[in-house]
Amino acid sequence: MKVMTTRETFSGVNNHTRETPLKIELASAEDINSILQNDDVLMAVNFSSKTAVDRDDPRLISVGLDTLGNSLPVEVWHGTGQVTSHREGRINWNENGDLLFGHLLIDEPDTSNLDVLIEQAYIEISAFVNSTAYPHVFRIWNYIPGINRIENGIERYKSFCIGRHAALSLQPDFRLTLPAASAVGTDVPGILVSFASGKVKPVQVENTRQVSAYHYPPVYSPRSPLFSRAVLMNWNGCEAQQLYISGTSSIVGHETRHTGDISAQAEETCMNIDALLDDVARRNGKKSAREITLSSLRVYFRHPEQLEPVREIIGRQAVSPKNIVYLKADICRMNLLLEIEGITNLF
Ligand code: 3EB
């Protein structure tokens, strides 16, 4: 007898498919209160002047990055069930029976080592998710004040990588379970690590044009950056798959390309994203990258005056302008001018 997969059970026998369990929209700041009235909201990210987790409603976080070009500043993540909020240790978390969104905010004391703070935070997050019904972290965002600053003789991004590596490498086969990630720099206090986890194992996707970050040579960091280029989510009972694309930059192989040239970096970054989409499409017998639309994008870049060339090049991607947020941020290598992350639904 042929054993049916979950997908066949739902789409074949029951002959119905549910919507993707996550949908992202952008909204204006005036709408925050009314948005949070919806009990399906798992996370609302308000790009503003501070980094914080809201005291009254831990579904709402502020991230201290300025939006540019009239981008709508609130990214709203809707799930499909009623959300409840909780706290455990330093982690504020929100769940809906399918998915969990958690936030760990670190107040950085003057005298501390970033690598130790990050190691402790990642150990706390790993232990926490393993104690829940949502053990599979598929997406993580790291917001780090002064990410390029040299401290104790080393760039803070490198210290961050050392701490993350120390925590995650405690797990056997840790390279096979890495989430999609972003690591960007803010100008305001507060390190925030936000993560999404669920019951479904993410499928790790690497980029054919890039060396996997976990195999970078040590020149970029004494301990390699631990993240996947993207993760493909095969949600139970849902025909559409979702691809969560990590922060992607103008890196080919492991080297930065086009130092000092924003347009060329933006184009190279788009080629990297297209390569990921092509590869996933081919592997899954789905549409080619040309036909795939990106459902949402965050575009982080260093210099606000470079908005126009960035917007011009990103505008050629198949994504509706109303689903793009442009953000002023530091990128984790000094010679990188921008980084793009996004989500795409594959039918
Ligand atoms: C890169 O490809 C660019 O250390 O978590 C992008 C996304 C980057 C995530 C991370 C770093 C990270 O290496 C930088």
Total number of domains constituting the chain: 1
Residue of higher predicted confidence among 124 and 285: 124
Please report which confidence band the pLDDT of residue 175 belongs to, taking 50, 70 and 90 as the band edges.
Answer: very high
Quick count: other Cβ atoms within 10 Å of Cβ 15? 7
Question: Burial, 207: exposed, middle or buried (Cβ in 10 Å; 0-12, 13-18, 19+)?
Answer: buried
Q: How far apart are CA 225 and CA 158, in angstroms?
A: 9
Nearest-CA residue for ligand 1 atom 13 is 213
Predicted TM-score (pTM) of the model is: 0.94
Q: Which of 184, 255, 332 to mutate to test the pocket of ligand 1 (most atoms within 8 A of CB)?
A: 332
Q: How far apart are CA 158 and CA 142, in angstroms?
A: 13
The region that residue 285 occupies, defined by phi over 0 for left and psi between -120 and 50 for alpha, beta otherwise, is left
Give residue 280's pLDDT: 92
255 is catalytic: no
Cα of 264 to ligand 1 centre, how many Å? 19
pLDDT in tens, 45-78: 999 999 999 999 999 999 999 999 999 999 999 9
Ligand 1 interacting residues, C-beta cut-off 6 A: 142, 181-183, 213, 225, 227, 246-247, 249, 251, 332, 339
Domain that holds residue 64: 2-9+16-346
Q: How far apart are CA 282 and CA 293, in angstroms?
A: 15
Give residue 113's pLDDT: 96
Catalytic-role residue among 75, 119, 339, 341: 339
Quick count: other Cβ atoms within 10 Å of Cβ 131? 10
Residue 9, pLDDT > 50, answer no
Nearest-CA residue for ligand 1 atom 10 is 183
**191-198 and 136-145: which strand pairing?**
antiparallel
CATH number of the domain within which 82 lies: 3.30.1330.40
Closest CA to 229 of 203, 255, 195, 263: 203
Q: How far apart are CA 22 and CA 242, in angstroms?
A: 9
Note whether 185 and 339 are within 8 A (CB).
Answer: no
Cα of 6 to ligand 1 centre, how many Å? 33
Residue 331, pLDDT > 70, answer yes
User: What is the gyration radius of the CA atoms in the chain, in angstroms?
Assistant: 19
Please report which confidence band the pLDDT of residue 288 belongs to, taking 50, 70 and 90 as the band edges.
Answer: low
pLDDT in tens, 80-134: 999 999 999 999 999 999 999 999 999 998 878 999 999 999 999 999 999 999 9
